[in-house]
Amino acid sequence: MAASRLILFPGSFPGVSSRLAGFGGKLCSSTRFCSGGCIKEIRDEGNKFRRCIQYSGEGARLAVINEGVLVKENFVSEREEEELVKEARSSFRRVKYEYDHWDGVIKGYRETEKSQWRSQSNQSVIKRLEKATLEASGGEVTAPAAMMNNSPPNSLLLSSVHVLDLAKDGYINPHIDNVKFCGTTIAGISLLSDSVMKLVHQERKDDWILMLLPQRSLYILRDLARYEYEHQILPDSLSYFNNEHIQRDNRISIIARTKPFKTT
Ligand SMILES: O=C(O)CCC(=O)C(=O)O
């Protein structure tokens, strides 16, 4: 995301495996995760989003139960992924990976905001992403009109999506997206690599959530999970889920966000 939009709340990089030893909940079933994507669907009861989530702490449990965090596997097909990567990479031609973000939030990345996509396939994936973001942000649609941007549901979304290319050795440190630039809901597609997103409550460090983000999946972060938990994409050395190392490779994410509430 654009540098100015990130707020880093200095956090540690606690050892994931030691925390896993005592995790309080596991919503991804006991099935082993294989890089081919054999994650067993958990009890889902009509919700079309699958969850690949582990958590510890009462706040985290509530965030999970209230669907503040969701993961849906295979949101894009392999073919769609290829097209997205091709167009995303063409935006990055001759752009080098950066390792010196001004506040240290992110290492080994390049990024852009994109409002137009050339390929029809990409346009249709972005529409799906935006629809999923809007659906997930249902609370926002019903928020008091005075707090909104006074506009119909479609314009609840930021007009561009954020394309973020993380090098194999790149990672994102704990942060909360700046409320001035982003509303209640963040939705991202993960391409090229599996990864693990970790959320830690900004005050209660033993209140945490791990989200396994398989290649080609969609994740949603919203409400308290978005406002009260710092999120991060773990570097390969800390990339563990359910006691398994989830190998991190070069990863491209495409992220849609709702608009912030008006503050004046
Ligand atoms: O790459 C991602 O999916 C997460 C990006 C992120 O943390 C952010 O832009 O705030």
User: How big is the chain by its Cα radius of gyration, in Å?
Assistant: 17
DSSP state at residue 190:
E
pLDDT higher than threshold 60 for residue 19: no
Q: What is the mean pLDDT of residues 24-35?
A: 39
The model's pTM is: 0.80
Q: Are 207 and 60 in contact (CB under 8 A)?
A: yes
Q: Would you state the pLDDT for residue 29?
A: 39
Strand 195-201 relative to strand 229-233, pairing: antiparallel
What whole-number distance in Å separates Cα of residue 199 and Cα of residue 208? 5
Measured in Å, residue 92 CA sits from the centre of ligand 1 at 17
Q: Which long-range contacts (CB under 8 A, 24 or more apart) does 260-263 make?
A: 260/179, 260/180, 260/181, 260/182, 260/183, 261/143, 261/147, 261/148, 261/149, 261/179, 261/183, 262/147, 262/148, 262/149, 262/150, 263/180
Question: Contact at 8 Å (CB) between 137 and 258?
Answer: yes
Nearest 10 degrees: Cα torsion 48, 258, 232, 215: 40
The Cα–Cα gap between 252 and 83 comes to 12
pLDDT, tens only, 154-198: 578 999 999 999 999 999 999 999 999 999 999 999 999 999 999
pLDDT > 70? residue 262: no
Spatial separation of the C-alpha atoms in residues 46 and 53, rounded to whole Å: 18
Residue predicted with more confidence, 46 or 158: 158
| Cα(70) to centroid(ligand 1), Å | 15
**Residue 45's pLDDT is what?**
42
Model confidence at 15: pLDDT above 50: no
pLDDT band at 234 (very low <50, low <70, confident <90, very high): very high
pLDDT at 51: 55
More confident of the two residues 65 and 245 = 245
C-alpha pair distances (Å), 48 with each of 29, 43, 153: 16, 11, 21
Other Cβ atoms closer than 10 A to 192: 19
- Tell me, in angstroms, the distance from the centre of ligand 1 to residue 125's CA: 18
Ligand 1 atom nearest residue 255's Cα: 3
- Ligand 1 lining (C-beta closer than 6 Å): 1, 6, 164, 172, 177, 188, 231, 233, 253, 255
Selection from 82, 84, 70 nearest residue 27 by Cα: 70
CA of 7 to the centre of ligand 1 (A): 12
pLDDT tens per residue across span 199-228 = 999 999 999 999 999 999 999 999 999 999
Query: Which of 84-98, 155-169, 249-263 is the least confident region?
Result: 249-263
Which domains, and CATH codes, for the chain?
A: 3-29+82-257 (2.60.120.590)
Q: Which atom of ligand 1 is nearest to the CA of 188?
A: 3
Out of 233, 234, 254, 258, give the residue to mutate to test ligand 1, the one with the largest number of ligand atoms within 8 Å of its CB.
Answer: 233
Instruction: Specify the ligand 1 atom closest to the Cα of 1.
Output: 9
76 C-alpha to ligand 1 centroid (Å): 18
- Measured at the alpha carbon of residue 83, what is the angle toward residues 77 and 88, in degrees to the nearest 5? 120
CA distances from 225 to 125, 210, 230 (A): 25, 12, 8
